[in-house]
Amino acid sequence: MDEQLISRVVGEVLSRLQQTTAPIESGKTGFGVYERMEDAIDAAHASFEKLTKAGVTARKQAIGAIRRLSAANAEAWGELEFNETKIGRLDHKIEKLRICADLVPGVEFLDRMAFSGDFGLTIIDFAPWGVIGAVTPSTHSVPTLTGNAINMIAAGNAVVFNTHPAACKCAATAIRAYNEAIYKETGITDLLTTVVKPTLETFDGMGKNPKVRLLCVTGGPGVVAAAMKTGKRAVCAGPGNPPVVVDETAEIDRAARNIIQGASYDNNLLCIGEKQVFVVSSVADALMSALEKAGAVKLTASQIEKLTNAAFGDPQKGGIASANPVLNKKLVGADAAVLAKQIGLDVPPDTQLLFGETDEHHLFVEEEQMMPFIPVVRMANVEAAIDAAIRSEHNYKHTAVMHSTNIRSLTRMAQECDTTLFVKNGPSMTGLGLGGEGFLSFSIATPTGEGVTTPMTFTRSRRCVMVEQLNLY
């Protein structure tokens, strides 16, 4: 062995020892957390190359470590995220992390194809991209990065994250812990990297760096537009405004319970969460009574007006009369009791949802408000309800929900809403495997069409052709 080799091996062993004993503290560098985006990308790239050499076994080990940690730390990290962002509900933040362990698919989801015949054998396999640049939202920071990490590593990639600045400390804590655990399992560090202080400039650095081969952004319209402008291929999980239709054939009590469950989940922060209800007028009163019976609190017209002012009426931006009313971010993901307080109403602190009757053009119908207040719009018949629901979805092609037992109506809405998720007779989260069949990801690629993302979303198709040999017959 030459001297250079010995000193390199000793150096690597020492640096690994230092890393494994480093304390996990949020906001600090180490174990995947870097000051500079360029360094975070370089580290992820070096790890990608190591992962490629280590093979699918190492991918499985890394994913296993992430699953174990997300379940074991669900309470601690849920609390950390809740305290940092101050939005949503702690119990649901914890649940969102727990379900990542079981419901997000891994390497078993990777497909391949083979064509065998007189001309030989052709295989199509699905290869990694390399380093993926991922952007995560404030509404579910650690759950989104956990789901992305499992999917992307399963496909053989490394990931650099530009997390939401308002939820970057909890994200960095999880990334550090995941990397430490992955290192212990595989000897590879930095499969997941990030920067201490994510900004628009660090996003720009990610978008321009040639080592980042693919982007996956999860967020509102701004980040989707920004990702598409980079010129890189981008998987975009964009905004939604999911409507619910309830027709005269629906099981009304069940529909009411489902609407409360979906619209109040994490105080309506989920992009798939029910945002407005269109109910056929013959059952509108029954639905509203059932909502009240199931614990939701009904607001009067004047209370709704006051809440609308509080939710959209920034006086500096022209209030609710302005052409572009601005959502009051302070109320996004707030408890129903906090919304009620805004309008001088005291409701029990455990109230899950407020609702009230509005017309189709109300701001709460039009805007993706992400608050536990749901407007209910009375419609003449199911045809009109479906039409209005589709209009309110704004062609985001995200999520729609229907409560009905009429096959024709369910079929019409399924075909015409053209959304990525369409849930029938259940709360919206059943569309992500929580109480419905199927798997989970917190990145639902809507404008770019990949749907609920899986390991396959983060692969490149490669074809390998052997001519006149290797076919068995």
Q: Residue 321 CB, nearest distance to ligand NAD (Å)?
A: 24
Q: Which residue of this chain has its Cβ atom nearest to ligand NAD in the complex? A: 219
Q: Which residues lie near ligand NAD (CB under 6 A)?
A: 135-139, 163-165, 200, 203, 218-220, 222-223, 226, 237-240, 271, 368, 442-444, 446
Q: Residue 336 CB, nearest distance to ligand NAD (Å)?
A: 19
Q: Residue 129 CB, nearest distance to ligand NAD (Å)?
A: 19
In the complex with ligand NAD, the residue whose CB is nearer, 183 or 373, is: 373
Q: Residue 144 CB, nearest distance to ligand NAD (Å)?
A: 7
Q: Residue 14 CB, nearest distance to ligand NAD (Å)?
A: 36
In the complex with ligand NAD, the residue whose CB is nearer, 409 or 420, is: 420
Q: Residue 343 CB, nearest distance to ligand NAD (Å)?
A: 24
Q: Residue 444 CB, nearest distance to ligand NAD (Å)?
A: 4
The one-letter amino acid code at 7 reads: S
Q: What is the 3-state secondary structure (H, E, C) of the chain?
A: CCHHHHHHHHHHHHHHHHHHHCCCCCCCCECCEECCHHHHHHHHHHHHHHHHHHHHHHHHHHHHHHHHHHHHCHHHHHHHHHHHHCCCCHHHHHHHHHHHHHHCCCHHHCCCEEEEECCEEEEEEEEECCEEEEECCCCCHHHHHHHHHHHHHHCCCEEEEECCHHHHHHHHHHHHHHHHHHHHHHCCCCCEEEECCCCHHHHHHHHHCCCEEEEEEECCHHHHHHHHHCCCCEEEECCCCCEEEECCCCCHHHHHHHHHHHHHHHHHCCCCCCCEEEEEHHHHHHHHHHHHHCCCEECCHHHHHHHHHHHHECHHHCHHHCCCCECCHHHCCCCHHHHHHHCCCCCCCCCCCEEEECCCCCHHHHCCCCCCEEEEEEECCHHHHHHHHHHHCCCCCCEEEEECCCHHHHHHHHHHHCCCEEEECCCHHHHHCCCCCCCCCCCEECCCCCEECCHHHHEEEEEEEEECCCCCC
Instruction: Please give the structure tokens belonging to residue 451.
Output: 């749907």
In the complex with ligand NAD, the residue whose CB is nearer, 138 or 261, is: 138
Q: Residue 77 CB, nearest distance to ligand NAD (Å)?
A: 17
Q: Nearest 10 degrees: CA dihedral of 336, 339, 345, 350?
A: 20
In the complex with ligand NAD, the residue whose CB is nearer, 128 or 137, is: 137
Q: Residue 220 CB, nearest distance to ligand NAD (Å)?
A: 3
In the complex with ligand NAD, the residue whose CB is nearer, 428 or 443, is: 443
In the complex with ligand NAD, the residue whose CB is nearer, 237 or 390, is: 237
Cβ burial 140-170 (10 Å sphere, 16+ → b, else e): bbbbbbbbbbbbbbbbbbbbbbbbbeebbbb
In the complex with ligand NAD, the residue whose CB is nearer, 401 or 410, is: 401
β-pairing, 399-403 vs 421-424, is: parallel
Q: Residue 262 CB, nearest distance to ligand NAD (Å)?
A: 14
Q: Residue 392 CB, nearest distance to ligand NAD (Å)?
A: 14
In the complex with ligand NAD, the residue whose CB is nearer, 329 or 361, is: 329
In the complex with ligand NAD, the residue whose CB is nearer, 183 or 364, is: 364
In the complex with ligand NAD, the residue whose CB is nearer, 141 or 179, is: 141
A 10 A CB-CB count for 472 gives 5
In the complex with ligand NAD, the residue whose CB is nearer, 164 or 362, is: 164
Q: Residue 140 CB, nearest distance to ligand NAD (Å)?
A: 6
Place of tokens 């109320």: 331
In the complex with ligand NAD, the residue whose CB is nearer, 240 or 372, is: 240
- Backbone torsions φ then ψ of 399, nearest 5 degrees: -140, 145
